[in-house]
Amino acid sequence: MRVLVGVGGGIAAYKAAELVRALQKRGHDVQVVMTAAAIEFIQPLTFAALTGKKVITSLFSRDSATDTLSSAVEHIGVAQEHDVLLVAPATADILSKFAHGAADDFLTTVHLAFAGKVILAPAMNTVMWNHPAVQENLKVLATRGYSIVDPDEGWLACGTVGAGRLADPERIVEFLDSLHNKRRDLEGEQVLVTAGPTQEAIDPVRFISNRSSGKMGYAIANAAAQRGASVVLVSGPVAIPPPPNVELVSVHTAEEMRAAVMERLGAATIVIKNAAVADYHVSDIPKQKLKKTATRLSLELDPTPDILAELGQKKGDRLLIGFAAETDNLLDEARRKMTTKNCDMLVANQVNREGVGFEADRNEVDIVTRDGRVIHAGPADKSEIAERILDQVATLRLHLHASAPA
Q: Would you please indicate which residues are annotated as catalytic (active-site) residues?
A: 158
CA nearest 174: which of 391, 378, 393?
A: 391
Shortest approach of ligand CTP to residue 322 CB, angstroms? 4
CA nearest 312: which of 276, 328, 332, 336?
A: 336
Does residue 324 belong to the site contacting ligand CTP (CB under 6 A)? yes
Shortest approach of ligand CTP to residue 277 CB, angstroms? 4
Give the integer Cα–Cα distance in Å for 255 and 396: 30
Please, are residues 231 and 189 in contact by the beta-carbon 8 Å criterion?
no
Does residue 323 belong to the site contacting ligand CTP (CB under 6 A)? yes
Give the integer Cα–Cα distance in Å for 343 and 359: 25
In the complex with ligand CTP, which residue's Cβ is closer, 16 or 271? 271
Does residue 148 belong to the site contacting ligand CTP (CB under 6 A)? no
Give the integer Cα–Cα distance in Å for 397 and 16: 36
In the complex with ligand CTP, which residue's Cβ is closer, 13 or 307? 307
In the complex with ligand CTP, which residue's Cβ is closer, 5 or 308? 308
H/E stretch holding 398 reads helix 382-403
Shortest approach of ligand CTP to residue 324 CB, angstroms? 4
Does residue 394 belong to the site contacting ligand CTP (CB under 6 A)? no
In the complex with ligand CTP, which residue's Cβ is closer, 233 or 308? 308
Residues of span 326-355 touching ligand CTP by CB under 6 A: 337
Q: In this chain, which of 16, 166, 275, 386 binds ligand CTP, going by CB under 6 A?
A: 275
Question: Could you give the string, one character per residue 229-258, with x where binding to ligand CTP holds by CB under 6 A and - elsewhere?
Answer: -------------------------x----
In the complex with ligand CTP, which residue's Cβ is closer, 151 or 236? 236
β-pair type (68-69, 62-63):
antiparallel
Does residue 273 belong to the site contacting ligand CTP (CB under 6 A)? yes
β-pair type (374-381, 362-369):
antiparallel
In the complex with ligand CTP, which residue's Cβ is closer, 273 or 318? 273
Does residue 216 belong to the site contacting ligand CTP (CB under 6 A)? no
Q: For residue 345, list its beta bridge partners.
A: 321, 369
Q: Centre a 10 Å sphere on the Cβ of residue 360 and count the other Cβ atoms it contains.
A: 19
Does residue 56 belong to the site contacting ligand CTP (CB under 6 A)? no
In the complex with ligand CTP, which residue's Cβ is closer, 144 or 211? 211
User: What single-letter DSSP state applies at residue 289?
Assistant: P
The DSSP code sequence of 178-245 is HHTTS--TTTT-EEEEEESB--EESSSS-EE-----SHHHHHHHHHHHHTT-EEEEEE-S-SSPPPTT
Please, are residues 118 and 101 in contact by the beta-carbon 8 Å criterion?
no
Residues of span 72-101 touching ligand CTP by CB under 6 A: none
Shortest approach of ligand CTP to residue 352 CB, angstroms? 13
Q: In this chain, which of 23, 92, 148, 277 binds ligand CTP, going by CB under 6 A?
A: 277
Give the integer Cα–Cα distance in Å for 284 and 201: 10
Residues of span 295-314 touching ligand CTP by CB under 6 A: 304, 306-308
Burial of 244 (0-12, 13-18, 19+ CB in 10 A): exposed
Does residue 325 belong to the site contacting ligand CTP (CB under 6 A)? yes
Residues in contact with ligand CTP by the rule CB under 6 A: 254, 273, 275, 277, 279, 304, 306-308, 322-325, 337
